[in-house]
Amino acid sequence: MNIRIGLGFDSHAFEEGKPLKLGGVVIDFPLGLKGHSDGDVLLHAITDAILGALGEPDIGQIFSDKDPRWKKADSKVFLQEAINRMRQKGYRLINLDCVIVADKPKIAPYKDAIKENLSRMLEIAPENISIKGKTREGFCREDGIACFCTILLIHEG
């Protein structure tokens, strides 16, 4: 049996005039996240976790912020490319564990919606997805969101 573990990380500062998206879900909050794309730190971290487990280039190498094609892009495009590469190599995702680090907004009210959306995108059961919101407890600056994700892949063959 061939299994692989991937770790993904992303962070973005807050920015006015953009919707806040986490895991493809729009969050009711007055600020969005700065970024070349839509700034969805959760989808970016998941994408990098999958790519890392596969030994592929990272999200920034595949989807350069210097490339105008990705300006304001929906991060689902990035995740779908990682999923396609995963399938081409004969792997499937077993589980996903994510930590979203932010003092605001509170993550708890959105956890179920995020899990359901990720479940559809990743084609795994919601019970195989963990989303945890953690506050900074005084560590680092409070003007954005950071996200860590760990994934487990298994080879189908």
Contact 120, 136 (CB under 8 A): no
In angstroms, the CA 54 to CA 39 distance is 23
What's the predicted TM-score (pTM) here? 0.95
Q: What is the pLDDT of residues 138-153, one digit of tens each?
A: 666 668 999 999 999 9
Residue in the structure block whose two tokens are 């994510």: 98
What does pLDDT average to over the chain? 93
Closest CA to 18 of 35, 1, 6: 35
List the domains of the chain with CATH numbers: 3-155 (3.30.1330.50)
Q: Could you read off the pLDDT of 26-74 as tens digits, one per residue?
A: 999 999 999 889 999 999 999 999 999 999 999 999 987 887 777 778 9
Q: Is the separation of the CB atoms in 46 and 1 below 8 Å?
A: no
Helix, strand, or coil (residue 68): helix
DSSP 24: T
Q: Which of 4-8, 11-15, 62-66 has the lowest mean pLDDT?
A: 62-66
